[in-house]
Amino acid sequence: MQQTNKRKWWVLAALALCLLTVGLDLTVLNLALPTLATDLHATNGELQWFADAYNLVLAAALLPAGLLGDRFGRKKLLIVALCLFGAASAACAYADSAAMLIAGRAVLGLGAAFLMPLSMAIIPVLFTEAERPKAIGIWTMANAIGIPLGPVIGGWLLNHYWWGSVFLINLPIIAVALVAVAVLLPESRSAVKRRLDFGGVALSSLGLVCVTYGMIEAGEKGWGDGLALSALLAGVVLLIGFGLWERRVRQPLIELSLFRSKSFTWGALLATAVSFAMFGLLFVTPQYFQAVEGADAFGTGLRLLPIMGGLLVGAKTAEPLLPRRGAKTILTAGFVLLAAGLSMGAFTDVDHNYGYAAVWLSVVGLGIGFTLPTAMDAAIGALSGERSGVGSALIMAMRQVGGTIGVAVLGTVLSNGYRDTLVMDGLSGEAAETVRRSVSAGAAVARQIDSPALLASIRSAFVHGMDAMLWVCAAVAALGMVLALVFLPRLAAKKRPAETEMTI
């Protein structure tokens, strides 16, 4: 019995290793954005697509991935996903254009779409209700540990090698994870064989593609652009159609009955709100540290460590308090911290030194540590072992949709704030267009023509756009605080996992 108990924690460690590749890849990409903007001549829209191609495919494929894992076996599909993720990482490393990198990132998203929900689906199957908060805390931390590792390791690689090396670091991690999953993870699947809802997959995927594309185009070309508005309208119509379809189909892609649980509904929604703010923050801070503060890639990675430090302290503090205080209290306090840290960041000025950034980033990390594991635990607490795959996929889909929309919406706010306050007197049309493209491209132009005034204007304009973006993030965090306080049950749902087929 003791050996079986120890083995399941080793299984969780193997799953955490899988998740490390996902978190590492996300952070490394954000760190490399300034380099990619110049080396691949990428626009702000293409920079957003580097993140959104990954996030969009991930969100679109999560739900069918959860169903396939429940039906055919979670271990089997985890191994396939790791192989796919490794192959896509190598393809991204050797991409020679923005289009090729976007395509590689899309395939990476497909691999991650199986890794994330299936690793989470194991938790309600293997662990008891008393063990679940600790297991979820480990799962969440494994997903988040890429925040410090990605910048530090990736920053060193960017300083010494070409940018493609940041994707190659996935390969040894994936190799170790493959061995660990193959040896330690027992096979598990649902006893009920479900059909795949092809209509739901098509409607949800197309709807998300249209909405995200419309948002990026609106940020790049303005909200009056006909193509952007058409894409947004088409996306909304498709997603409404998806909702109506799910109500009528016999075996829907989404288990609508899950939303009868307040713990699941509000836990998943609040985790989505955290992801919205977190993805936007990780998109903008590396650009701020490099283009405004003048840090190199490795220095940028070190400057992001306070987020992780705060996250570790927050998660460790919240874990023992959760059984006594309940999810409502912990989440409310966490969103207060998150809103406070983001509001501090929104007062950033060009003349502020790194000490100010370290303080507000630490507070933001503390808020994330309180909110994200607690919200995830509240949602997972409503899942049975029978529905763990599709339920976990739905939670992750909501989080990834929130992150995708966050990058698109907050990227639009950043771009508009940056462009509206630029001063480019005397610049030629081509040079002015390059400056408008991104802060990294603008700083390169200013240095090329040796114009301190233009460089100062570019930095000031970017900080103005970043501050506006952080105010939006703070407003979302404040809304999360109100929702947690008003709607979330004080105690998470207590439901004993149902039987599920497992081979040990």
Please list, in sequence order, all residues whose beta carbon lies within 8 angstroms of the beta carbon of residue 487, skipping any fewer than 6 positions away. 262, 266
What span, in angstroms and rounded, lies between the C-alpha atoms of 310 and 322? 18
pLDDT at 468: 94
The mean pLDDT of 337-343, rounded to a whole number, is 96
When pLDDT is cut at 50, 70 and 90, the band that residue 347 belongs to is very high
pLDDT at 472: 94
pLDDT in tens, 155-181: 788 778 888 888 888 888 888 888 877
Both tokens of 101, joined, read: 């990198």
Burial (0-12, 13-18, 19+ Cβ within 10 Å), 260: exposed
pLDDT in tens, 109-152: 899 888 888 888 778 777 777 787 778 778 877 776 666 577 67
What span, in angstroms and rounded, lies between the C-alpha atoms of 61 and 67? 10
Reduced 3-state DSSP string for 97-152 = CHHHHHHHHHHHHHHHHHHHHHHHHHHHHHCCCCCHHHHHHHHHHHHHCHHHHHHH
The mean pLDDT of 5-15, rounded to a whole number, is 77
State how far Cα 55 lies from the chain centre. 7
When pLDDT is cut at 50, 70 and 90, the band that residue 494 belongs to is very low
**Beta-carbon count within 10 A of 294 CB:** 10
State how far Cα 351 lies from the chain centre. 30
Percentage of residues of the chain with pLDDT beyond 70: 90
Both tokens of 272, joined, read: 């989505």
Backbone angles phi, psi at 250, to 5 degrees: -70, -45
* DSSP three-state, residue 340: helix
pLDDT at 95: 87
460 or 495, greater pLDDT: 460
Out of 45-54, 126-135, 256-265, 485-494, which region has the weakest mean confidence (pLDDT)? 485-494
Backbone angles phi, psi at 302, to 5 degrees: -65, -35
Partners of 189 in beta bridges: 501
Residue that has been written with the tokens 């923005």 in this structure: 98
